[in-house]
């Protein structure tokens, strides 16, 4: 049976964006987890997981995100989420993980914030 999510990964030297689309549950989270942990194993400095195409996520999906966050933080990288839909936002709030992750409204906002933080000072 085909996984019920699509995963698109775009990577540059310092940044990987992982765009998930579809419902993330115990079955489909396995593939997302695998890809996120593979990026973390290569110590990609910044990983953004965009969830704007994810209408539903259960606790196994949350577990994959927590695992990703902890792996990336272990090498002082940044693990960022963007585009949480209402149901997904609800599970983050219920678990209070919304206070643990860096979350942006959408991926463009996340990228802009990173640009601003990395911009040279002065000029």
**What are the CB-based long-range contacts (under 8 Å, 24+) for 107-115?**
107/17, 107/19, 107/48, 107/50, 107/52, 107/82, 107/83, 109/82, 110/48, 110/50, 110/80, 110/82, 111/48, 114/15, 114/46, 114/78, 114/80
Among 27, 53, 103, 113, binds other proteins (CB under 8 A): 27
Among 10, 38, 74, 90, binds other proteins (CB under 8 A): 90
Output the smallest distance, CB 11 to other proteins, in A.
24
Q: Which residues contact 119 (CB under 8 A, 6 or more apart)?
A: none
73 binds other proteins (CB under 8 A): no
- CA-atom Rg of the chain in angstroms: 14
Among 9, 26, 74, 108, binds other proteins (CB under 8 A): 26
Among 6, 34, 87, 102, binds other proteins (CB under 8 A): 87
Among 36, 62, 80, 110, binds other proteins (CB under 8 A): 62
Rule CB under 8 A: which residues touch other proteins? Answer: 1, 4, 23, 25-27, 56, 58-60, 62-64, 66-67, 70, 86-87, 89-91, 94-97, 100
């Amino acid at each position: 049976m085909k996984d019920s999510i699509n995963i698109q990964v775009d990577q540059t030297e310092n940044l990987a964006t992982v765009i998930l689309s579809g419902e993330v549950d115990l079955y489909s989270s396995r593939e997302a987890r695998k890809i996120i942990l593979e990026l973390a194993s290569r110590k990609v400095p910044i990983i953004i997981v965009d969830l704007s195409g994810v209408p539903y996520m259960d606790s196994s999906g949350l577990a994959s995100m927590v695992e990703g966050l902890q792996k990336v933080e272990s090498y002082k990288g940044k693990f960022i989420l963007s585009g949480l839909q209402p149901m997904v936002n609800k599970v983050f709030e219920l678990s209070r993980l919304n206070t643990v992750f860096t979350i942006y409204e959408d991926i463009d906002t996340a990228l802009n914030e990173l640009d601003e933080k990395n911009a040279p000072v002065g000029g």
